[in-house]
Amino acid sequence: MYQQNIAALAKQLRSKDISSVELTQSFLSRIKDVDPSLNSFISVTEDTALNTAAEADKLIASGNAGPLTGIPIAHKDLFCTNGILTTCGSKMLHNFIPPYESTVTSRLKQAGTVLLGKTNMDEFAMGSSNENSYYGAVKNPWDTTKVPGGSSGGSAAAVAAGLVVAATGTDTGGSIRQPASFCGITGLKPTYGRVSRFGMVAFASSLDQAGPMARSAEDCAYIMNAIAGFDTQDSTSSEQATDDYVDTLSQPLQGLKIGLPKEYFDSTLNDDIKNTLMTAIKEFEKLGATIKEISLPNLKLSIPSYYVIAPSEASSNLSRFDGVRYGHRCENPKDLLDMYMRSRAEGFGQEVQKRIMVGTYALSEGYYDAYYLKAQRIRRLIKQDFVNALAEVDVIMGPVAPTTAFDIGSKTNDPVAMYLEDIYTLSVNLAGIPAMSVPAGFDNGMPVGLQIMGNYFAEAKLLNIAHQYQQVTDWHLQNPNLAKGA
């Protein structure tokens, strides 16, 4: 049952072959059996889930169910959920229960989904390995000695292990695509502004974007139909009309022009990963696509630019966590300054503190022009590279990461090596374009993802391309050999 997609489960629910309560109980049981070895959930909302499932069954019986009614999902634990713990993987918010609902979770609730719980993540979405969580590291279902990727590693691991049908994630510099690649699932980072950020605890406001994580492009399309669209509560939300992402999945790929950036396929890319990706790209040629080499000359500047802009925005966004209004407060402060200092020092982990310090420095008087302003100018060059490239081709393809999932602890003491894991994903967020990771094979038993990047608001095209590829391959159907419940 846990291996079936949304359409198949929805059909069984409507035909009364299974009830939403039974489906939900099945997934909750699987979480209890499997998740102790993965640590992909921070909280499991069993009672709420069963109540929601019972309501879904009533809706199905009335004949008014939608395609997502009764489908079990999970949310990354930085989406505010009314009355449900929302921690952002941090001690700072270990006791925070929001009094309101994010737009993403609200829309999925309205679509009839059943929330099973909140997934583990790098603290405040800062990380590429899901080792920075106050609640402990998440393990990769394919090999529990390896990381699942980050920061949406809990969502990726939960989907890959069959603990939920789909999950939400957020992508600030690759945090949907990289864990999707490491865990062998499909993940979509939409165009900036396509999905509302209201109620999503901010890391870097000009980069953050929510998106779906699921086994297939088709399942991601169902989730996108529910969450995409304008929101008056988000000033960065786009008013551009959305597509029906499911209806466009079956369009043929004849005549599709694919660009391969020479900067993505140079000597820094692992040869085995390169060969895996080129095999995948040949499948698109069989489907009628043509290949062209392109250039993104400013790719090498994406890491220094991102690691000025993102920490600067994080420094500003996280200033609200001061021990006064909500979140962690130190015990017995001597005075107001002591409360501020100790509450933040105790509440934030090492990686978050480091990025706050970097961002505060970059925004300080005398350094703003030299660092932050210059990084924004570089960002414009990176965006223009994509605009130029996408004037020549329909989509761009390449690797998601330079390696497959690495060993837990192997890069925690080498921040440069950790940051380099994002070399192929950061530029997409700086430009604001949509991109996704699609399972494309394995290297030494670990999944490899193919990254597909498109023009602004071309999510339907990306999902269509990914779906057509998944009709002729079965990489997205592979399952990890879990010790329990496999």
The pLDDT value given to residue 268: 80
Catalytic sites, residue numbers = 76, 151, 175
- Residues 443 and 426: their CA atoms lie apart, in Å, by 23
- Six-digit token pair at 132? 């920075």
d(CA 225, CA 218): 11
**H helix or E strand, kind and range, residue 6:** helix 6-14
Question: What span, in angstroms and rounded, lies between the C-alpha atoms of 259 and 148?
Answer: 28
Q: Which of 202, 214, 227 is nearest to 105 (CA)?
A: 227
Calpha distance 231→107 (Å, rounded): 11
Report pLDDT for 482: 77
459 — phi, psi (to 5°)? -60, -40
Instruction: Give kind and range of the element (H or E) at residue 170.
Output: strand 166-170
Phi, psi of 140 (to 5 degrees): -80, 125
Closest CA to 461 of 186, 159, 169, 190: 190
Tokens at 373, concatenated: 């302003």
pLDDT along the chain (486 residues), means of 10: 91 95 98 98 98 97 95 98 98 96 98 98 97 98 97 98 98 98 98 98 97 98 98 97 97 97 89 96 97 96 95 96 92 95 96 96 90 96 98 98 95 87 95 98 97 98 98 97 55
Do 347 and 235 meet the contact criterion of CB atoms below 8 Å apart? no
Cα 243 from Cα 187, distance rounded (Å): 18
Domains of the chain: 6-253+459-477 (3.90.1300.10)
Closest CA to 92 of 126, 65, 143: 126
Q: What pLDDT, on the 0 to 100 scale, is given for residue 111?
A: 98
- The CA distance from 459 to 466, in Å, is 11
Helix, strand and coil content of the chain, in percent to the nearest 5, comes to 40, 15, 45
The CA-to-CA distance between both ends of the chain, in Å, stands at 11
